[in-house]
């Protein structure tokens, strides 16, 4: 499958770059890797020969470890930039750090940052491909792809399904990717939560995205994606409400969260997702986290297999594009036919 020239695009930073056919291929691959592992079949080292840098300028547990596990399973060499001990602490900006990684001739850089200047990062990296592991409020494409695998496992298709997104949609990069991706896969998306956290001024919502009061939303959906409050991105006025207003934990759970009462009104075959980190008894009742249809842990597992699927697929795409390029040995012989590079 070569429907997208990722090398010319220097990587993956938006779900908009993926065709529906490409997503189907990624789901198929992820399931195959997962099944092999379940049967004790060792991972094929499809990423062998690759050196990949992880450059996370924001804290991360699930995404960082998921990428790292996928890379190691695939046989890649991993450079994990320790930002706390890097020259960023001396004032070096992100672009200069990325330019340094590019100068080290890594094959790929996986980036997380609170900023959203994709063009500047691509320019800093030159020709080195980039994967978005979470850019500010904009998008988190690999989280959305992992969630799609989880949802496909639940139903086999998203066609005709109603999927609700509940919570801080304004600041959520996960919402940014899902709002683009899920309708393309046939789902109808509805949203709910604190009214002043539903708009995305930097990324306007489609007219087809319907807003519902929380109680109505949970009754209507086949799947509910619950989002945390992005406290690190909230204004001071909204932060104040998380301490002593409607956004404080118990008040939030009753006003906007998935509590026991709302849980009982949901469809019997519903599933609930949450990209983490979870705020127990905040956006979701602690007692619900062990329910079989609350798929938080499965999302983590599926996300890792989906990232391995994506990485191996990208490597194949780029290898195909460079298959006709001249080898180093051939290049030296062309420059000077007397040179023999063989050992």
Give the Cα separation of 5 and 40 in Å (integer). Answer: 34
Residue 115 has pLDDT above 90, yes or no: no
Residue 206 has pLDDT above 90, yes or no: no
Looking at residue 284, the DSSP 8-state letter turns out to be B
Residues of the chain with CATH 3.40.50.1370: 6-138+299-322, 141-296
Give the Cα separation of 260 and 271 in Å (integer). Answer: 15
First-to-last CA distance in the chain?
Answer: 36
Q: Which long-range contacts (CB under 8 A, 24 or more apart) does 103-109 make?
A: 104/53, 104/79, 105/51, 106/51, 106/52, 106/53, 106/79, 107/50, 107/51, 107/52, 108/11, 108/50, 108/52, 108/53, 108/311, 108/314, 109/52, 109/53, 109/55
Q: Which fold has domain 141-296?
A: Rossmann fold (3.40.50)
The answer to whether 165 and 275 are in contact (CB under 8 A) is no
92: tokens are 């070096």
Higher pLDDT, residue 324 or 113: 113
* Tens digits of residue pLDDT in 213-259: 999 999 999 999 999 988 787 778 787 888 887 888 789 999 999 99
Q: Is the pTM of this model over 0.85?
A: yes
* Tens digits of residue pLDDT in 118-171: 889 889 999 899 999 999 889 999 999 999 999 999 999 999 999 999 999 999
Instruction: pLDDT band for 1, please (50, 70, 90 cuts).
Output: very low
Top-tier CATH class for 6-138+299-322:
alpha beta
């Amino acid at each position: 499958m070569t429907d997208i020239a990722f090398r010319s695009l220097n990587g993956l930073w938006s779900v908009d770059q993926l065709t529906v056919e490409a997503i189907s291929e990624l789901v198929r691959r992820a399931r195959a890797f997962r099944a092999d592992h379940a049967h004790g079949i060792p991972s094929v080292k499809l990423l062998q020969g690759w050196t990949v840098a992880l450059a996370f300028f924001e804290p991360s547990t699930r995404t960082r470890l998921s990428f790292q596990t996928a890379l190691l399973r695939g046989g890649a060499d991993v450079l994990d930039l320790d930002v706390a001990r890097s020259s960023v602490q001396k004032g070096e900006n992100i672009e200069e750090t990325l330019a340094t990684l590019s100068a080290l001739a890594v094959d790929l850089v996986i980036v997380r940052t609170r900023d959203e200047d994709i063009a500047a990062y691509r320019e800093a990296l030159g020709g080195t491909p980039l994967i978005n592991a979470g850019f500010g409020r904009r998008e988190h494409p690999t989280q959305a792809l992992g969630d799609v695998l989880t949802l496909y496992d639940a139903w086999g298709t998203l066609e005709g399904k109603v999927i609700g997104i509940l919570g801080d949609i304004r600041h959520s990069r996960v919402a940014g990717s899902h709002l683009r991706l899920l309708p393309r896969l046939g789902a109808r998306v509805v949203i709910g939560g604190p009214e002043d956290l539903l708009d995305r001024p930097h990324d306007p919502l489609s007219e087809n995205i319907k807003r519902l009061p929380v109680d109505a939303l949970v009754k209507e959906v086949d799947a509910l994606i619950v989002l945390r409050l992005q406290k690190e991105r909230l204004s001071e006025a909204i932060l104040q409400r998380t301490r002593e207003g409607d956004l404080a934990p118990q008040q939030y759970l009753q006003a906007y969260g998935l509590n026991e009462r709302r849980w009982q009104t949901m469809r019997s075959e519903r599933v609930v997702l949450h990209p983490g980190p979870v705020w127990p008894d905040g956006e979701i009742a602690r007692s619900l986290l062990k329910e079989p249809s609350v798929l938080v842990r499965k999302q983590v597992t599926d996300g890792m297999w989906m990232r391995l699927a994506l990485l191996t697929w990208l490597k194949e795409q780029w290898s195909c594009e460079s298959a006709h390029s001249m080898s180093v040995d051939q290049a030296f012989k062309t420059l000077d036919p007397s040179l023999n590079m063989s050992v």
